[in-house]
Amino acid sequence: MSPETLLQTSPPVASPLQFASEDFDRYVMSTYARFPLALAKGEGCRVWDTEGREYLDFVAGIATCTLGHAHPVLVEAVTQQIQALHHVSNLYYTPQQGALAQWLVEHSCADRAFFCNSGAEANEGAIKLARKYAHTVLGIRAPMIITAHASFHGRTLATITATGQPKYQKNFDPLMPGFYYVPYNDITALEEAIALLDNDERQVAAIMLEALQGEGGVRPGDRAYFQRIREICNEKGILLILDEVQVGMGRTGHYWGYENLGIEPDIFTSAKGLGGGIPIGAMLCKSFCDVFQPGDHASTFGGNPFACAVGLAVCQTLEQENLLANVQARGEQLRTGLQAIADRYPSFIAEVRGWGLINGLVLNSDVELTSSNLVQAMIDRGVLLVPAGPKVVRFVPPLIVSAEEVDQVLQALEQTMAAL
């Protein structure tokens, strides 16, 4: 089914569940600064709030709802699998897990997959695998993992430690030992760090990076930087781990972010877009992952037939509906439109950057306008966007987005900028 036909299907219904926001805050922990909006229904690239107001969803659950909302393929996969068998644990084989692993391996540089439930958990698995490889194969006693400033790898203790942003680590110390940070896209700093860490006490086991830094401000990786890293890793036997949680699964117009850089990682992780909004994560690796033996790593929910059937449906739809071509075309259209607006409002907008359907509008540091202000102003015009730091607004629509929907968002942004 094409995205155009999706838009014309059934009208929205309000959620039957009414719940006041004051009550919500009384019962739910205050870990999120939510926008004042309660959503009740979605279809294609649109969502409706509990009052019935319509929004174009260019957040997609933070780069997660690959096929948008209520996609017939997703509805079908969920319904069928919940009726057949939804969860049995990893004490047994299930065909859905094998089939999803096969699809991922055949469409990437990896040899095998491990399934879990989120991005942070996938990265935890990658860190554990790299450490076990370092201890048992490389003979490193104190393995170090180098990560980048402004990176984002999740909210567990190991992954906030891997995340090179002090704001996520503050007051949660003691952090995990074994991490070292370098500026992103700076090859000299990286080479200096590897030299510094190469001594009797500790050695670099892995370098863990995002192909494009999502949360940290939609910052694309530099091709020459990553190609040199690949060479260094090959020379020194260091593992290259890429966190593909946000940019993988077609988001950049290729299945994987690393394809934009012309390199292959040794380990990579996926989550957000993989289940199209149903929770699933994966850690993928070349065959040296066989250092992981039965008992080394596990997850009760990980790879259950429900999540894997949905993940497989998302993967097959990406392929069958040729969505990578749509991502490339709509991404180009969006970036061109954003750049035209940036050119008309140079006092507010510094830069437009991104790949495929992950794009950032970078606000000038010397104006008061913040990304949250702009996101709120766009909500008022019926468009959902998400900040990527205080000065970058992120556009990450479902990969089925149509040309008309991109145009509508560009128009709303033009009107918002004109009104500032």
Ligand X SMILES: *Cc1c(COP(=O)(O)O)cnc(C)c1O
- Residues acting as catalytic residues: 152, 243, 272
Instruction: Tell me which of 96, 118, 161, 416 binds ligand X, using CB under 6 A.
Output: 118
Least distance to ligand X from the beta carbon of 411, Å?
28
Instruction: For the segment 148-207, give every residue that binds ligand X (CB under 6 A).
Output: 152-154
Least distance to ligand X from the beta carbon of 279, Å?
8
Segment near ligand X (CB under 6 A), from 132-140, 210-218, 307-315, 322-330?
A: 210-218
Least distance to ligand X from the beta carbon of 244, Å?
8
Instruction: Tell me which of 214, 265, 275, 303 binds ligand X, using CB under 6 A.
Output: 214
- For ligand X, the closer of residues 178 and 277 by Cβ is 277
Least distance to ligand X from the beta carbon of 101, Å?
19
Least distance to ligand X from the beta carbon of 178, Å?
18
- For ligand X, the closer of residues 154 and 277 by Cβ is 154
Instruction: Tell me which of 210, 266, 321, 405 binds ligand X, using CB under 6 A.
Output: 210
Q: Using the 8-state DSSP alphabet, how is residue 311 labeled? A: H
Q: Using the 8-state DSSP alphabet, how is residue 195 labeled? A: H
In angstroms, rounded to a whole number, what is the distance separating the alpha carbons of residues 210 and 221?
8
- For ligand X, the closer of residues 151 and 402 by Cβ is 151
Q: Is 309 helix (H, G, I), strand (E, B) or coil?
A: helix
Asked if 354 interacts with ligand X (CB under 6 A), we say no
CB 369 within 8 A of CB 348: yes
- For ligand X, the closer of residues 243 and 405 by Cβ is 243
Q: What contacts 268, CB < 8 A, 6 or more positions away?
A: 108, 110, 126, 241, 242, 243, 244, 248, 256, 258, 283, 284, 285
Query: Which residue has the closest beta carbon to ligand X?
Result: 119
CB 177 within 8 A of CB 238: no
Instruction: Determine the straight-line distance between the first and last CA of the chain, rounded to whole angstroms.
Output: 39
Asked if 358 interacts with ligand X (CB under 6 A), we say no
Instruction: Tell me which of 243, 259, 321, 405 binds ligand X, using CB under 6 A.
Output: 243
DSSP lists the bridge partners of residue 270 as 282
In angstroms, rounded to a whole number, what is the distance separating the alpha carbons of residues 271 and 244?
8
Instruction: For the segment 251-290, give every residue that binds ligand X (CB under 6 A).
Output: 271-272
Instruction: Tell me which of 193, 206, 245, 312 binds ligand X, using CB under 6 A.
Output: 245
Instruction: Tell me which of 49, 215, 321, 405 binds ligand X, using CB under 6 A.
Output: 215
Segment near ligand X (CB under 6 A), from 52-60, 119-127, 338-346, 409-417?
A: 119-127
Least distance to ligand X from the beta carbon of 123, Å?
6
Asked if 119 interacts with ligand X (CB under 6 A), we say yes
Least distance to ligand X from the beta carbon of 269, Å?
7
Q: Give the type of residue at 345.
A: Y
Asked if 246 interacts with ligand X (CB under 6 A), we say yes
Token pair 């289940």 is found at: 275
Concatenating the DSSP letter of every residue in 226-242 gives HHHHHHHHHHHT-EEEE
- For ligand X, the closer of residues 48 and 355 by Cβ is 355
In angstroms, rounded to a whole number, what is the distance separating the alpha carbons of residues 164 and 107?
30
Asked if 248 interacts with ligand X (CB under 6 A), we say no
Strand residues in 174-221 grouped as ranges (E): 179-182, 203-209, 212-213, 219-220
Q: What backbone phi and psi angles, to 5 degrees, belong to 69?
A: -105, 140
Q: Number of residues interacting with ligand X: please give it, by CB under 6 A.
A: 15
Cα–Cα distances (Å) from 111 to 103, 238, 297, 309, 312, in that order, read 11, 18, 18, 20, 17
Decide: residue 177, CB within 10 A, 0-12 exposed, 13-18 middle, 19+ buried: exposed
Return residues touching ligand X (CB under 6 A): 118-120, 123, 152-154, 210, 214-215, 243, 245-246, 271-272
